[in-house]
Amino acid sequence: MTRLVPGSLLRLRLLAPLLGGIALGLVIELTEPETRLYALVSPALLVGVAGLLGTVVPAFLTVIRQRSAAATEAAVGEAVAKAAEDRLRFLMRLDHELKNPLTAIRAGLANIEQVGPVVAAETSASAALASVSAQANRIARLVGDLRKLADLETRAIEAAAVDLPALLHEVTEAAEAIPLASERVVRVNVPQAPWPLPLVEGDRDLLFIALQNLVANAVKFSAPGDTVEIRASEDGNWVLLEVADTGAGIPEDEIGEVWHELARGRAARSVPGTGIGLALVRVVITRHGGQVAIRSRDGQGTVVSIRLPVQGRTGIAPAVAVPRQRRDFRGKARA
């Protein structure tokens, strides 16, 4: 028995209109040989042409569909490959971040074991315990930040009107408590004329955390006497927020990596931190339907830009609101 494969079925389906048209034309020609249209065209020819068109058009549409499906499949494949590459890069960063504190913990424990009960070595034992405690706290902060980031990516966020000038004022006040901030020149520029900034919609506490992270980063990667500017403006259906500094800047080959989890540039590896801050900012802003971008010049400074949709104009509405306890910038619960 002859078995029809999908390719044979397709060809048969494409040829069927043509063969049917030719057969019908022959029948008409044989039974009604005198039948002619005013254009003196044989009905058989017309039917044949119709059959030909019935073949060509479906074939053309089939080719279009096949190419579209191939393009979609290629795009999905690229997305899957990119996700796998990002996951591998994240695991390598996680391995790097955990390796040093774990090594320090093992070394500290080994020192304690060597000290034993010798009273004279109590000072060394205390130092080793302090080192172990510090490294354990470092790992705890890293795990806590990763858990917080995962929570932000999945949880529903509030959808309430946010007064950005008031929020930026609060961020500026909180900046005074950031270590070393007093040695920088912190400026804020929020327009008041001819009208104030429009409202945005979202979770005020999360937006505060994102902006505070940016200001803390600007302070951390700048030197005494450097300037940190917090700027805001209206741009069509968006509000543009910028945190700029005259600090160390970022090498060009590292700019594309700064938004990834645990990403730490060469110059940043000697600065305390978990490498989660900018990733957290990105997640918070994108969950609000906004956009993030960064411009930097190595040795001259950095500008981090945030775009948030103006309330009621454009952008992606946040997910269903889930009331939750509000917290101040130190993480303490507040009414």
β 227-235/185-189 pair status: parallel
What is the pLDDT, as a whole number, of residue 163?
Answer: 94
Which amino acid, 233?
S
The reported pLDDT for the residue numbered 9 is 60
Check residue 247 and give its pLDDT: 92
Which residue carries 């805001």 as its tokens? 232
- What local confidence, expressed as pLDDT, does residue 320 receive? 40
Predicted local distance difference test score (pLDDT) of residue 124: 66
18 three-state secondary structure: helix
Distance, CA of 283 to CA of 155 (rounded, Å): 11
Q: How far apart are CA 111 and CA 106, in angstroms?
A: 9
81 vs 90: CA distance, rounded Å: 14
**What is the model's pLDDT at position 245?**
95
What is the per-residue pLDDT across 210-256, written as a single tens digit (0 to 9) for each?
A: 999 999 999 989 999 999 999 999 999 999 999 999 998 999 888 88
Helix (H) or strand (E) holding 106: helix 43-115
125-132 LR contacts (CB < 8 Å, sep 24+):
131/104, 131/105, 131/107, 132/104, 132/105, 132/108
d(Cα 187, Cα 240) in Å, to the nearest integer? 16
Residues of the chain with pLDDT under 70: 1-18, 21, 33-41, 114-125, 267-270, 272, 314-335
Which ranges of 155-224 would DSSP assign to H, the alpha helix?
Answer: 164-175, 204-220
With beta carbons less than 8 A apart as the criterion, state whether 275 and 213 touch.
Answer: no
